[in-house]
Homo-oligomer: A and B are copies of this chain.
Amino acid sequence: MSVRLVILGLLRERPLHGYELKQIIEEHMGDWTAIAFGSIYYALDKLAEEGCVERIATEQEGHRPSRHIYQITERGEEEFLHLLRELWRTPERQYYDFDVALFFITALPHEEVLATLRGRVAGLEAALAHLEAHQNEQTEAPEVPPIAHAIFNHSRVHLRAELMWTQDLLHHVAEGRYP
């Protein structure tokens, strides 16, 4: 659902076509969103139907596929604020597929479980290190908006929580607490 918010939010700056949206999203939000490019075109069509955006031009460079340029409408501005407030207010509950695996884990041999948990711990440590390096690098770039720090921290605190929990789980499993 946040694709719509992203599209409207970016179109508030200036008119864009689908591919441009895809590029901006990948470059500026790629680290903390998962928006498939197919969803962008779907959402654009939907938003156009609803009168939240409108095609203002169709351009073509050489014999490249032509592109449709969209502009946000007044209705779109309203929808943007509506979606923003909704996301901003609604508490989101996260679910972890890993918990499902954990629930059935007695189906796997003890040694395999231990080995994989150790692998997860290592992977989380690496991810955390990578994130922190990336964050420092971004911190120095002047074009990165201040709010990016908060978004980085968000990932960081959850990665850390996940790491600690996994280490804890590893110890419990090693002690044979889940036979």
Chain A residues with a Cβ under 8 A of chain B: 1-2, 5-6, 9, 12, 29, 32-34, 80-81, 84-85, 87-89, 91-108, 113, 116, 119-120, 123-124, 127, 145-147, 150-151, 153-154, 157-158, 160-162, 164-165, 168-169, 172, 177-178
Residues of B within 8 A of A108 (CB): 81, 84-85, 88
Q: B94 near A158 (CB under 8 angstroms)?
A: yes
Q: A92 near B97 (CB under 8 angstroms)?
A: yes
Copy number of this protein in the oligomer? 2
A153 to B99, CA, bound (A): 11
Contacts A34-B95, A107-B84 known; A158 to B162 CB distance under 8 Å? yes
A95 to B158, CA, bound (A): 10
Q: B124 near A153 (CB under 8 angstroms)?
A: no
Residues of B within 8 A of A160 (CB): 161
A150 to B108, CA, bound (A): 17
Contacts A161-B161, A165-B153 known; A107 to B88 CB distance under 8 Å? no
Residues of B within 8 A of A92 (CB): 96-98
CB nearest to A156 among chain B residues: B165
Q: A88 near B116 (CB under 8 angstroms)?
A: yes
Residues of B within 8 A of A2 (CB): 97, 100-101
Known: A81-B108, A98-B154, A157-B164. 20 other contacts (CB 8 A): A2-B97, A2-B100, A2-B101, A5-B101, A32-B95, A32-B96, A33-B99, A80-B107, A84-B105, A84-B107, A88-B116, A94-B96, A96-B154, A102-B154, A146-B177, A147-B178, A150-B172, A150-B178, A153-B165, A160-B161
Q: A154 near B147 (CB under 8 angstroms)?
A: no
